[in-house]
């Protein structure tokens, strides 16, 4: 069984990078792998399926994506006009710096999902090249990924951690803010480096992006819904690997092994790994490893999936920046946590 699960895990990492058909249908692919993993692990039963169906968060996300899509479509022109007005008064680099920082900090209050919806609409109409849009978006998703941990309403991972450790509403901010806030500020600076004005484009010129239609908005919401189900299946399906090879590791190694959250549900990993018996530095190591690596590949976070779908970002395009940026951040935080 474990051998088959390991093969499936490798396929999950590799196939989206080498097959255009897979990366264009990533949600369906992940759902299929999750289904196969769940069958292999023997967890696919009526009780498990009912628990998935009762996940209120799943419906909230899909509904938010659907309504957000319709709202942004309706107010697209006023948003573009407003953005153009702002950029006439604020340099583009400063605007992008503020975008990355504010969207990251706000994600812990308005949730990572709403933050991602705001982000993708703003990035989609920035007067920069498509390549720079992709880079700014990826950096912003890293910002959302780490920023949303600061309160229990930011994302499921933070909700689980607060519950397991019996923490108060602001305790994660007090514990992790010293690491997260400087990281978000540095990401803002990096994002600003890609804010190079494309003089051949204007805010209202968006030829690379497909025009929004009600059908596209509906399809995007359905794909997000399918993706969340896939995360549930993947998390439970690969639990034997997590239980046997991951949670037994020393936290110095666990920090790096948690890069598996680039394709696995970080909330599932956190639920398996976090314990009240851990010291503060152990908790910090586990959480930072999960949070940072979640930005490295498209399946790592729901905001990644939302923005990749809207901006038509492929897996290979994402990892060109996502993997090296994630590895550099992992190395820096490792030094901060365990060396300094």
What residues does each domain of the chain span?
54-197+215-338
Query: What residues have CB less than 8 Å from 308, skipping those under 6 apart?
Result: 26, 298, 314, 318
At 20, list the tokens. Answer: 């255009």
How many C-beta atoms surround the C-beta of residue 168 within 10 A? 10
Of 69 and 327, the structure prediction assigns the larger pLDDT to: 327
315/52 Cα distance (integer angstroms): 27
Mean pLDDT confidence for 288-304: 91
pLDDT surpassing 70 at residue 293: yes
E-only strand ranges, the chain = none
**6 pLDDT exceeds 50?**
yes
Q: Enter the tokens of residue 75.
A: 């107010």
Q: Do the Cβ atoms of 287 and 279 come closer than 8 Å? A: no
First to last CA, the chain: 42
Which is higher by pLDDT, 118 or 20?
A: 118
Region 217-221: mean pLDDT is 87
Beta carbons of 306 and 298 less than 8 angstroms apart: no
Q: Which of 100, 42, 26, 15 is nearest to 236 (CA)?
A: 42
Mean pLDDT of 170-177: 92
- Lowest-pLDDT range of 73-82, 208-217, 245-254, 259-268: 208-217
Contacts of residues 176-180 at CB distance under 8 Å and 24 or more positions apart, as own/partner, are: 176/149, 176/150, 176/284, 176/287, 176/288, 177/150, 179/284, 179/288, 179/333, 179/336, 180/146, 180/147, 180/149, 180/150
The fraction of the chain above a pLDDT of 90, given in percent, is 39
Residue 202 above 70 pLDDT? no
CB contact at 8 A, 149 and 176: yes
- Confidence (pLDDT) at 113: 87
The predicted-structure confidence for 224-255, as pLDDT tens digits, reads as follows 888 888 888 888 888 888 788 777 788 888 89
- Top-ranked range on mean pLDDT: pick from 145-149, 161-165, 298-302, 309-313: 145-149
Mean pLDDT of the chain: 87
User: CA 35, 152, 287 angle in degrees (round to 5)?
Assistant: 65
Average pLDDT for 36-62: 88
Whole-number pLDDT of residue 146:
95
The pLDDT tens digits of the residues spanning 92-142 come to: 999 999 999 999 999 999 888 889 989 998 998 898 999 999 999 999 999
Residue 203 in this model has a pLDDT that exceeds 70: no
Average pLDDT over residues 8-21: 85
């Amino acid at each position: 069984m474990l051998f088959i699960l390991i093969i499936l895990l490798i396929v999950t990492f590799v196939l989206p990078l080498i097959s255009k058909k897979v990366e264009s249908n990533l949600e369906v692919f992940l759902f299929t792998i999750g289904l196969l993993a769940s069958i292999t692990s023997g967890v696919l039963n009526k009780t498990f399926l009912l628990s998935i169906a009762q996940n209120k968060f799943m419906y909230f996300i899909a509904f938010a994506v659907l309504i957000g899509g319709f709202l942004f479509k309706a107010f697209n022109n006023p948003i573009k006009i407003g953005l153009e007005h702002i950029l006439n008064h604020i340099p583009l680099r400063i605007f992008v710096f503020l975008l990355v920082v504010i969207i990251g900090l706000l994600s812990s209050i308005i949730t990572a999902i709403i933050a991602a919806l705001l982000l993708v609409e703003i990035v989609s109409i920035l007067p920069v090249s498509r390549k720079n849009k992709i880079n700014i978006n990826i950096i912003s998703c890293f910002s959302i990924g780490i920023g949303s941990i600061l309160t229990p309403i930011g994302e499921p991972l933070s909700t689980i951690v607060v519950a397991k450790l019996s923490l108060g509403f602001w305790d994660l901010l007090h514990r992790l803010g010293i690491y997260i806030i400087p990281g978000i500020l540095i990401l803002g600076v990096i994002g600003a480096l890609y804010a190079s004005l494309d003089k051949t484009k204007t805010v209202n010129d968006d030829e690379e992006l497909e025009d929004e239609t009600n059908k596209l908005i509906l399809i995007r919401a359905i794909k997000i819904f399918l993706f969340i189900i896939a995360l549930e299946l993947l998390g439970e399906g690969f639990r034997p690997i997590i239980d046997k090879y991951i949670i037994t590791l020393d936290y110095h190694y666990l920090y790096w092994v948690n890069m598996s959250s680039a394709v696995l549900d970080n909330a599932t990993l956190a639920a398996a790994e976090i314990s009240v018996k851990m010291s503060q530095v152990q908790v910090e190591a586990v959480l930072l490893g999960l949070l940072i690596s979640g930005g490295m590949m498209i399946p790592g976070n729901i905001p990644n999936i939302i923005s990749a779908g809207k901006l038509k970002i492929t897996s290979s395009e994402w990892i060109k920046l996502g993997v090296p940026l994630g590895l550099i951040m992992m190395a820096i935080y490792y030094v901060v946590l365990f060396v300094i």
